[in-house]
Chains A and B, each alone.
Chain A
Amino acid sequence: MNHLRVALRQLLKSPGFTIVAILTLALGIGANTAIFSVINAVLLRPLPYPDPDRVVILQESDADQPNISVSFPDYVDWKKDNHVFEQLAVARRESYNLSGVKGRAPEQVSGAIVTANFFKVVGLAPQLGRVFTEEEDRAGGPALAVISDPLWQRVFQRDPRVLGRAVNFGGQFYTVIGVMGPRMFSPRTVEVWFPLMHRATGTSWTMRDNHPGLFGWGRLKKGVSLEDANAEMKAIAARLTQLYPESNSKIGVNLTRLLENQVGEYRASLTLILAAVAVVLLIACANLANLLAARGAARSREFAIRVALGATRWQIVRQLLTESLVLALLGGLLGFAFAAWGRDLLVALCPPDSKRFQETNLDGWVMMFTGLLAIATSVLFGLWPAWTASRADAQLALKSGAHGSSDAPGARRSRELLIVAEVALALVLLSTAALVLQSFAKTMALSLGFEPQQLLTARVDLPSPAYEDEKKLVVFSNALLGKLHQLPGLEKVALAANPPFMTGWQDGFLPEGAPEPPPGRQPSAEMAVVSPDYFPTIQTPLLRGRSFQPNETKSAPPILIVDQLMADRYFPGQDPIGKRIRIQTDDSGRKMRTIVGVVPHLKVYGFDEQTSLPQIYLPMLQQPQTGLVILLRTSLPPDSLEKSLRDIVASLDPAQPVFEVRSMQSRVAETWATPRLMTTLLTAFSGLALILAVIGLYGVMAYNGLRRTREIGVRLALGARRGQIAAMMLRQGLRLFVIGLGIGFAGAIVLSRVMRSLLFQVDVSNPVIYLAVSLVLAGAALIACWIPARRAARINPMVTLRAE
């Protein structure tokens, strides 16, 4: 207690020092707290399901892709043969128009078809009603629905009478039998669950070589590890390969924990950012250690007197550590407040597609982290100065009151080591930030093959019973295009199914005359169905041939357009125009389509597309679609057209919602979320590190200047020119800087190898980046050293030599 009182009094005695110290710590600890709170929410916090570690996602793999969806017959065999899962389910995400609710405009909701045991895998019971049974989950079974808590809230105002009500999802009525609790959110963002077997009809479910978008969901038996499960599932997959070589020759299986499946992709980036803030805190600690050591030197008389009065060394260390602890706790408190203020800002930067980022908050774990960090920090920056101060030679300190310039042995070396470390760490951080920044710039500047700026997109899904007739589809599409043409500021308009960034339909194909591939080995292409004006609207040039014509309807010869990748791969050295291609699901693969045009290959998933399939475009007039995307190229701000767009669709069919009205640019930007987060945070933190390191360098140089005042006075009296004194001081600082730079380079180069996988099109060994970063750092260091050096050179020897 006494220690604490003395500590507080000491800190109050020099408020300037105390404020600087607390602010430095608050910045360092606050940044760490903020990042930890994100990591806690995203990576660490367990999923809100019972025994969440036992929930596993199963996917299959083939020769080309590490992850593909699960074939239904494979699932049936898995379920039958495995001994590791308590429950094994499958689910597929779909989306539905929810309509016919009184007083509500129709809206698009995300749903899933799931096997009945899916709820047992998740382990949650409904808060109201029940879920469907194995018995009900069969072909020809009843049309049942279980809805989510948010949907119950939004659409039914938590009315318990929703049970038993028939609700129109996608043009068909389903009876609501249960409402899940608020914790249920699987599969991702789903708001309504239907029995899978009710819809699992048709050949796509019985063909083993078809992978219809299913994901396996398993709950491991108690005591079964993921490795055990993996081994058994691999064995089963190998058996299936032997039994069904035609379809399963290259099919494997992957298991990942649910949490890892959801957030695994963020692990590397978040870890890097955490490392970056840790470095910032280390630099802050080094600064504080130096500040405290300088204070300790100034107080060496005090300690000497204490020792002379009988204090032990440990008592002095304890006194000083108490002061550090008080500083760190105050800094931690303020840092926690900073983190709380910055929370919303930080979350806004995070990838929007993961709910867990949005759940970032400062809970008990974060608070504990901050507390422990503060304590660890206080030892980190307090121990060395306390130790040094306690070693002060009593006799020397008492005698040298006049000069007060003698350093405790080794103190200067330690001080300089800290600065070297700070410079090295700052360089590592700065060059990391520069790499990430460059990567992000490359990402943003990347040509996608089309122009996302000034392009508005929106979805309309026409429900199948009402629009079963293709003629009706064509009429609707034509009427829609006609009305859209009258919008103000409109330059071009087109309709499409599966345009870039809203895509996901792949199909098998075969060029005419190519040898028939073994079943399941057919090449596949990224498919899109587009109206005639599609390419001018997205501003993609036609490389060869022609576009679709408005009169090329069903009655005209079947045609298609391919991308350059298809042309290069399947018609190398030939003119692809006039060649013919068969599409697997197009008229059951009997129809041959003639290529009429070639366009460039587009980036349709994002800047970091791993694998790319050739792309095929079918004319919408020959292949009318129910799932439409409206594409508007406008000279106005794209979002300003939203209202008119909704009005136009409503005027054609009031039952049809327009949803996902967004500019194409924002869809593209969404794929940058993770690099943007990394770039922003790393830039901010490395800036902070730079500032702290420069302050540290300045502090040490200024302190050296002060300590050497008398020496400088003597040197001037002995004939030194002021320039020589300034140079001497500058040399001292720059020597530290250069050593730090050297060590930092080594660190930066090592780190750049590690983070190569996080970068996009950046050459990590490009010396220009490191050169630029060093120049920035050198400029800052020069200023930090030059000011104290100049001040030292201005010392008046008459004054300093007199002051004795």
Chain B
Amino acid sequence: MSDPLIELKHVERVYPLAKQQFFYVLRDINLKVEEGDFVSVMGPSGAGKSTLLHLLGMHDFGWTGEYFLSDAAIHQLKPKERTSLRNEQIGFVFQNYNLLDDLTVYENLDIPLSYRRYSKSERTSLVADTLDRFSIVGKKDLYPRQLSGGQQQLVSIARAIIAKPKLILADEPTGNLHSSQADDIMQLFKKLNGEGITIIQVTHSEINAAHGNRVIQLRDGWIVK
């Protein structure tokens, strides 16, 4: 195989607690994720899973170490360059969906496109395609509060992939769903993974993790397996 999609070398994340006191959330993380992987990050609460995901998603810059994404050395990039790299490559799925309340399903899907270089007509056709693909055309004019939890998460995943990312980062995407809905979402992830999208999800569930091809165990900031 070629170079990995993601490579972390000696990455650490430290929060200052008080004077001269530090709290190590992530310690000496060394990690390779190949293109096409479906990785599940597991571990007890407070282990640093979300922190790792936000770090990978470039929401957080307060870490040390080296981070390569598709050959780009993230730790050497300026914030602007990181943002555009993120916009090209990454889509996000959240535990509580984070759809915008005041926007319709259609408009929620359109947000990521509005922040990237797409023409008006491209946006229209991409949103239409995506609605079609997720079979939610009938819901396009509804507001998030008019959808069930599973439907909201469906929309949120649709929103994550609409700008054609290489990588999906999902933080407990099924945390608020009951098991049958969770299974649907996992099937969807599997399908997306089959289409070549790399997925990193945080999950507490062994069943969900089983859909992936790899598990990373975090404990107190260390990768244990």
Chain A residues packing against B (C-beta within 8 Å) = 403, 405-406, 710-711, 713-721, 724, 796-798, 801-802, 804
Contact = CB atoms under 8 A, between A and B. Distances in A.
A714 B97 CA distance: 10
Report which residue of A403, A405, A720, A724 has the largest number of chain B beta carbons within 10 angstroms of its beta carbon: A720
Contacts of A796: 59-60
Nearest to A802: B50
Contacts of B102: 711
B15 to A, nearest CB: 12
Contact of A719 (B80, B86, B101): B86
Contacts of B116: 719
Contacts of B159: 718
B44 to A, nearest CB: 17
28 contacts: A403-B101, A711-B100, A711-B101, A711-B102, A714-B94, A714-B98, A715-B100, A715-B111, A716-B59, A717-B59, A717-B92, A717-B94, A718-B92, A718-B111, A719-B83, A719-B86, A719-B112, A719-B163, A720-B115, A796-B59, A796-B60, A797-B54, A797-B59, A798-B60, A801-B94, A801-B98, A802-B50, A804-B96
Interface in B81-114: 83, 86-87, 92, 94, 96, 98, 100-102, 111-112
A406 B144 CA distance: 13
Interface string B53-81: 01001011000000000000000000010
Instruction: State the majority secondary structure of interface residues on B.
Output: loop
B59 A798 contact: yes
Contact of B115 (A403, A718, A797): A718
A110 B133 CA distance: 99
A717 B57 contact: yes
A724 B115 contact: yes
B126 to A, nearest CB: 14
A405 B83 contact: no
Contacts of B96: 804
Given A714-B94, A801-B98, 10 more contacts: A713-B98, A714-B98, A714-B100, A717-B57, A717-B92, A718-B92, A718-B111, A718-B112, A718-B159, A719-B112
Nearest to B159: A718
B100 A719 contact: no
B87 to A, nearest CB: 4
A721 B78 CA distance: 13
Interface residues of B, number: 22
A724 B111 CA distance: 12
A718 B100 CA distance: 11
Nearest to A396: B145
Contacts of A406: 101
A802 B86 CA distance: 19
A757 to B, nearest CB: 50
Nearest to B51: A798
Nearest to B80: A721
A572 B192 CA distance: 100
Contacts of B112: 718-719
Contact of B87 (A405, A713, A714, A719): A719
B111 A798 contact: no
Report which residue of A403, A718, A797, A802 has the largest number of chain B beta carbons within 10 angstroms of its beta carbon: A718
Contacts of B111: 715, 718
A792 to B, nearest CB: 15
Contacts of A714: 94, 98, 100
Interface in B17-72: 50, 54, 57, 59-60
Contacts of B92: 717-718
Interface in B152-188: 159, 163
A259 to B, nearest CB: 59
A405 B99 CA distance: 13
Nearest to B112: A718
A212 B25 CA distance: 101
B173 to A, nearest CB: 14
A403 B115 CA distance: 24
B54 A798 contact: yes
Closest 3 CB pairs of A and B: A719-B115, A719-B87, A798-B59
A721 B100 contact: no
A714 B112 CA distance: 10
A804 B95 CA distance: 10
A719 B164 CA distance: 13
Nearest to A717: B92
A803 to B, nearest CB: 11
Contacts of A802: 50
B50 A721 contact: no
Contacts of A713: 98
A716 B98 CA distance: 12
B214 to A, nearest CB: 24
A719 B86 CA distance: 7
A711 B86 CA distance: 19
Contacts of B101: 403, 405-406, 711
Contacts of A717: 57, 59, 92, 94, 98
A495 B61 CA distance: 87
Contacts of B94: 714, 717, 801
A324 B166 CA distance: 56
Contacts of B163: 719
A797 B83 CA distance: 13
A93 to B, nearest CB: 74
B100 to A, nearest CB: 5
Contacts of A716: 59
Nearest to B87: A719
Nearest to A403: B101
A261 to B, nearest CB: 63
